[in-house]
A and B are shown apart, each in its own frame.
Chain A
């Protein structure tokens, strides 16, 4: 099975731009989706596919991908963006097995 790798910790100054990355072989074939999780809450989908935001997600969240790497960018980070972020995709085997990255804890300073 394949893996998705994320940096465990990332920090950003309030109002600045931050990029959270996810790397894995499966991303050469499949798009990533991104989830935000705050303590004690269920994950929330924030970006999926090429660069799609579900209804209600602020437009400061955007996504991109290149080769085996996907990125989630927050432009003008807010205090409420402090959370854990997980990437997700299908396994590179081509089956319907799904995988998550290990997660990135974002701190807004």
Chain B
């Protein structure tokens, strides 16, 4: 059974940092692109970042470029998101998702349960 379990969320002050983790199991983690998707309270889904199978390609939404860093450790079946210089507008539930898509279609077929990041003084 495929499982994605996020952790690392919490309350942090503006300007602070946090590291989110996503533990994957039930599939060959190193064979898939992985993404982080967030959802601010009462708002829609926003794709944040993704990383390819060996970590050599990384992409980000413009609003987090230079502040967030996505990474992975295939030996530990884990995905990470380092959040720096946090702002109030980064407050959201952060989901990790497996991308089984192709060049023509995005397929986020498995999602974690999410971890809440609250940025507030």
Contact = CB atoms under 8 A, between A and B. Distances in A.
- Answer whether A and B are interacting partners: yes
Contacts of B106: 30, 33, 48, 88-90, 98
Interface stretch (B13-21, B72-80, B81-89, B108-116): B108-116
A103 B107 contact: no
Residues of A in contact with B, size category:
20 to 34
**Main SS of chain A's interface residues?**
strand
A66 interface: no
A1 B62 contact: yes
A43 B45 contact: yes
Contact of A103 (B44, B95, B114): B44
A61 interface: no
A106 B37 CA distance: 22
B interface majority secondary structure: strand
Chain B, interface residues (CB within 8 Å), range: 20 to 34
A97 B108 contact: no
B59 A95 contact: yes
Contacts of B104: 29-31, 49
Contacts of A86: 44-45
Nearest to A104: B44
Contacts of A95: 59
Interface string A60-92: 000000000000000000000000101011100
Contacts of B52: 96
Interface of A: 1, 29-33, 35, 37, 42-45, 48-49, 54, 84, 86, 88-90, 95-103
Given A86-B45, A88-B45, 9 more contacts: A1-B62, A33-B101, A33-B107, A33-B108, A35-B108, A45-B108, A84-B44, A98-B47, A100-B45
